[in-house]
Amino acid sequence: MLQSKLFYKTNKNKSSETESVSHDLLVRAGFVDQLMAGVYTFLPLGYKVLKNIEKIIRENMERSPANGQEVLMPVLQPKENWQKTGRWETLDILFKIKGNGDKEYAMGPTHEEVVSPLAKKNIFSYKDLPISLFQIQTKFRDELRAKSGILRTREFSMKDLYSFHATQEDLDKYYEKMLKVYFNIFKECGIYKTGKNPITYRTLSSGGSFSKYSDEFQTITEAGEDIIYICKKCQTAINKEIIGGNKECPNCKGVEFEEKKAVEVGNIFKLGTKYSLPFDLKFKDKDGSEKPVVMGCFGIGLSRLMGAIVETSHDEKGIVWPKAVAPFLVHLIPVEDNKKIKATTEEIYQELKKNNIQVLYDDRQNKSVGEKFAEADLIGIPYRIVISEKTLKINSVEVKERGKNSAKLVKISQLFKIIYA
């Protein structure tokens, strides 16, 4: 991609209106544009990141052990389905709209009221179970106060997977497998690491009417709305809402905790039969008896995950994108305007494109070298390759990894081995 043709603008000055690091950097670096409170346009740079996150999630949902089949359910949902579950009047974030005549609809904040009757049309026997369906769809939630940029919005992209089982035991086994799938997603996205201080924690939270506990995945950041307590003995994390006055770890009974602010990037619930029963979702078991289907729910907010990545991967100069989600892998910058530099830069550019390497070529003539470097740091592409007359004298280019202090000279003949590694 030629940078002169890219639809974006950067701003070197921090806005007083931004509420978090990710909000500030994503706006200033030209990744998102705010239309109104809680509603954002993802510009080309931001949309590329979002699609890379989506790719990681989709691959993890489709392969074993998740074994999800992708569907796409409607955003517009009938009032009657929400009345069946009792949530039409009780869910305060529900966007309600009126159609022609007396018809009323919900703009889906979640999809239990759609997937349950859908499953009823396709699940009849124990032979149809287990099965898992997932989608990546836009959600709408009438949040009282949208805040912190894309960390809490009123319109957002979300992956939700629903699993259907014959027994609670089968759901329990699947649930444990999905915990590992989620950690793999967060690891690929750059916000989880093994050992101490993993950045993102499996966090015990209220199970509501479903179970004693549900699991949240909380990423440590000062922009977070949640308070979690991390057990110093076993590293179990507990949401403040359930820890109680005595602050005892439910896992190891430890009593020493570290308090942290965090943002929820995913959650999983054992729904049980809460939504099966209102929609009469049953199956015929081996013995001929009818039983309600047992359900699980597994969600990840893509745009919130994108914001959390920036919260954990930045420095004083700008964003430091993990390679797997970055909008481009390489930022190619010639620093002098002569035929030899242009020809070499073009050759490297075409070679990278030929090998399906995402590259942003800064071909702009109206920017100084200092401006180009500062903007490159703000945008945060993993590799910056600089071509100059000085480096070409020794058949080399300067390669700098974003987030590292020093650059290194690399022979052009060896450059592609480093990038492809």
Instruction: Quick: pLDDT tens for 187-228.
Output: 999 999 877 788 999 999 987 666 678 899 999 999 999 999
Please tell me whether residues 275 and 409 are part of one structural domain: no
Contact between 214 and 206 under an 8 Å Cβ cutoff? The reply is: yes
The whole-number mean pLDDT for each consecutive block of 10 residues of the chain, a chain of 421 residues, reads 97 86 97 96 98 98 98 98 97 95 95 98 98 98 91 97 98 97 97 87 81 88 94 90 80 91 96 97 98 98 98 97 98 93 96 95 95 98 97 96 95 90 73
Which residues touch 162 (CB under 8 Å, ≥6 apart)? 111, 112, 115, 119, 132, 133, 134, 295, 296, 297, 298
Is 238 part of a structural domain of the chain? Answer: no
Is 1 part of a structural domain of the chain? Answer: no
Q: Would you list the DSSP string of 27-68? A: HHTTSEEEEETTEEEE-HHHHHHHHHHHHHHHHHHHSTTT--
Domain count for the chain: 2
Nearest alpha-carbon partner for 190 in 104, 306, 298? 306
Torsion on CA atoms 104, 107, 113, 114, rounded to nearest 10: 100
Please tell me whether residues 302 and 353 are part of one structural domain: no
Q: How far apart are CA 145 and CA 107, in angstroms?
A: 18
Amino acid at residue number 163: S
CATH number at 304 reads 3.30.930.10
Q: Would you list the DSSP string of 184-232? A: HHHHHTTS--SSS--SEEEEEEE-TTT-SEEEEEEEE-TT-SEEEEEET
Mapping DSSP to helix (H, G, I), strand (E, B) and coil, where does residue 413 land?
Answer: helix
Is 276 part of a structural domain of the chain? Answer: yes
Please tell me whether residues 291 and 201 are part of one structural domain: yes
How long is the chain?
421
Please tell me whether residues 280 and 412 are part of one structural domain: no
* Residue 199 in tokens: 């950045």
What pLDDT is attached to residue 207? Answer: 73
Is 306 part of a structural domain of the chain? Answer: yes
Please tell me whether residues 284 and 350 are part of one structural domain: no
What pLDDT is attached to residue 418? Answer: 87
Please tell me whether residues 86 and 200 are part of one structural domain: yes
Compute CA distances 223 → 16, 152, 159, 192, 264, whole Å. Answer: 15, 11, 22, 18, 11
Please tell me whether residues 342 and 413 are part of one structural domain: yes
Please tell me whether residues 53 and 137 are part of one structural domain: yes
What pLDDT is attached to residue 206? Answer: 83
Please tell me whether residues 290 and 409 are part of one structural domain: no
Tens digit of each residue's pLDDT (9 = 90 or more) over 157-182: 999 999 999 999 999 999 999 999 99
Q: What is the residue range of 393's domain?
A: 330-420
What pLDDT is attached to residue 359? Answer: 98
* Residue 214 in tokens: 């549900």
What pLDDT is attached to residue 379? Answer: 98
Strands across the sheet with 76-78, in order?
A: 76-78, 104-107, 95-98
Is 194 part of a structural domain of the chain? Answer: yes
Please tell me whether residues 148 and 114 are part of one structural domain: yes
* Residue 57 in tokens: 């999630």
What pLDDT is attached to residue 208? Answer: 67
Is 231 part of a structural domain of the chain? Answer: no
Q: How far apart are CA 333 and CA 405, in angstroms?
A: 18
Please tell me whether residues 164 and 303 are part of one structural domain: yes
Q: How far apart are CA 241 and CA 207, in angstroms?
A: 11
CATH number at 338 reads 3.40.50.800
Contact between 384 and 16 under an 8 Å Cβ cutoff? The reply is: no
Please tell me whether residues 391 and 297 are part of one structural domain: no
